[in-house]
Amino acid sequence: MPKKLQPVWCLFFLLILLSVSTGQQADPRAGVSSLRYHQHQEFFRVVLEIEKIREFYSAELKDPERLYLDIFQARLQPGLHGTSYVINSACVKSLRLAQKNPSTVRLTVELVPGSKQSEKIYYLKDPPRLVLDIFPRGRASTTSTSTPAPGAQSERPAGQTSGAPAAPPKPRAESSRPSGEAAAGTESSSPRPPAPASNGYSLVRQLGLGVKRIVLDPGHGGSDPGCMSPSGLKEKEVALDLARRLKNMLETQGKFEVFLTRDSDLTLPLEKRTSFANQKGADLFISIHLNASPRKNRTGVETFYLNFSPDPAVNELAARENASSTKNIREMKLIVDKIIKNSKYEESRDLAEKIHRNLLEHLEHNFGPRDDLGVKGGPFWVLIGSEMPAVLVEASHLSNAREEAALKTETYREAVATGLFRGIMEYVKSLGKG
């Protein structure tokens, strides 16, 4: 090769290497690097060091009694999977850390039967740590609001179980949950009665019914892209990704069977989506969409249940979402009758309100103010004929530059899925089944 061309070729290969390295996507999961525990005088503490703050969920199981803590969008550092410790504690028998699935890390705490009074879970910073404090019966109450002593945020390495007593820190904002959700999924010694919906005790609540199967419907798909952002981000792609994330969260919780109406870029008629949910015997149906508006500064969340609406804006959106329907005008009376006879109206509205509030609050808490566009009735085809409470969620706006940019990130999508998850769990708990 001529010497004059050698620098050119070197530069060419360097550019190729740079393009390959920068084209690789960073792993969105936060690494969990260590597990430590410490026996304080008043409680037993477990600490997980983690790269970034991630959403978590906890619940109790029986036979044997144990508490599990799932951290979403997380991965264990090499060598930590299967780590376990036998503990000599008043309320804890053993700890085990595992990679439950590719995106979820699970900490399992086996408890001394009948010994646990309560627990607190919260984040500490510098470095980021997820902390679990378990309080045995007959010890300090969890209503303490004292702030941590100067040494209270330090923990011993795993295996060291002595030290000066420390007051439990007050939970940080990162672990705060909407009202009514803090103990969702925790088993109690006796069933709790359901809470009334906005219009009182519906037949669902009178009969003590719960939720086992959930169908998630990623909007649009295949030849129907839905709305599209100025940069080309398609509603059908984002909706499917959000539905997959939410499915993983619900299945990780351990109490639900979750189905997707589509798990690929599939063209699926609107009528078949609700029909699919009916065939599966679903207890809830949630259709996930992204919004678009001529007002480019419009942001936020809008949630619907099946009903007629006098609002021109709602009717315009319904016309857009229903555009792919294959039904004809001669079927209008039958369709109207189905809407009028919608027996799940009260529960659908209650589910919509809880999902809407939790999603909006979670996004506002993590990403700042956005528009509360309300919970409304609307004649959406995808909700017609459902035999279960059914809602349609417009989770964010592809037409808004700020929300469009956020929707391209793992962090924001995980937050949307988390807000939906929290709303569903609050609804389940309101039935007395959480």
Least confident of 25-39, 60-74, 100-114, 166-180: 166-180
SS (H, E, C) 386-421: CCCCEEEEEEEECCCHHHHHHHCCHHHHHHHHHHHH
From CA 186, how far away is CA 434, in angstroms rounded? 7
Residue 88 clears pLDDT 80, i.e. is over it: yes
Amino acid at 60: E
* 4 contact partners, CB below 8 Å, separation of at least 6: none
Compute the Cα dihedral for 271, 273, 278, 279 and give only its sign. Answer: positive
pLDDT number for residue 151: 33
Q: Give the DSSP letter of residue 113.
A: T
pLDDT number for residue 168: 33
Residue 222: closest CA among 272, 263, 266: 266
Per-residue pLDDT tens for 299-327?
999 999 887 444 556 446 545 554 555 55
From CA 122, how far away is CA 100, in angstroms rounded? 21
Please report, rounded to a whole number, the percentage of residues in the chain having pLDDT higher than 70. Answer: 70
Fold of 30-143+155-164: Immunoglobulin-like (2.60.40)
Q: Is pLDDT larger for residue 254 or for residue 203?
A: 254
Strand 104-111's sheet: what is its strand order?
56-61, 66-72, 104-111, 92-101, 84-86
For the whole model, what pTM was predicted?
A: 0.56
Average pLDDT estimate for 92-120: 91
Structure tokens at 410: 């793992």
> Any idea what the Cα angle at residue 185 is, between residues 28 and 75, rounded to 5°?
20
Local confidence band at 142 (pLDDT 50, 70, 90 cut-offs): very low
Local confidence band at 381 (pLDDT 50, 70, 90 cut-offs): confident
* 388 contact partners, CB below 8 Å, separation of at least 6: 277, 278, 282, 283, 284, 285, 344
pLDDT number for residue 204: 67
pLDDT number for residue 150: 30
Cβ atoms of 177 and 434 closer than 8 Å: no
From CA 78, how far away is CA 246, in angstroms rounded? 27
pLDDT number for residue 169: 34
Residue 396: closest CA among 307, 330, 301: 301
Q: Give the DSSP letter of residue 171.
A: P
Residue 163 clears pLDDT 60, i.e. is over it: no
The half-sphere exposure of 80 on its side-chain side, counting CA atoms within 13 A, is 23
Residue 420: closest CA among 280, 242, 291, 281: 242
> Where would I find the H helices in 232-344?
235-253, 270-280, 312-321, 332-340
- SS3 assignment, position 34: strand
* 415 contact partners, CB below 8 Å, separation of at least 6: 55, 362, 363, 366, 367
Compute the Cα dihedral for 410, 416, 419, 425 and give only its sign. Answer: negative
Antiparallel, parallel or unpaired: β 84-86 and 129-136: unpaired
Using CA atoms, how far residue 414 sits from 223, 334, 363, 420, in Å, is: 26, 39, 10, 10
Per-residue pLDDT tens for 331-345?
544 544 544 444 477
Residue 358: closest CA among 220, 213, 123, 184: 184
Residue 186 clears pLDDT 50, i.e. is over it: no
From CA 364, how far away is CA 360, in angstroms rounded? 6
Structure tokens at 393: 């969620």
Spelled out in words, what is the top-level CATH class assigned to the domain 203-430? Answer: alpha beta
Q: Evaluate whether 30-143+155-164 and 203-430 have a shared fold.
A: no
Q: Domain locations in the chain?
A: 30-143+155-164, 203-430
pLDDT number for residue 183: 33
Structure tokens at 383: 């909700």
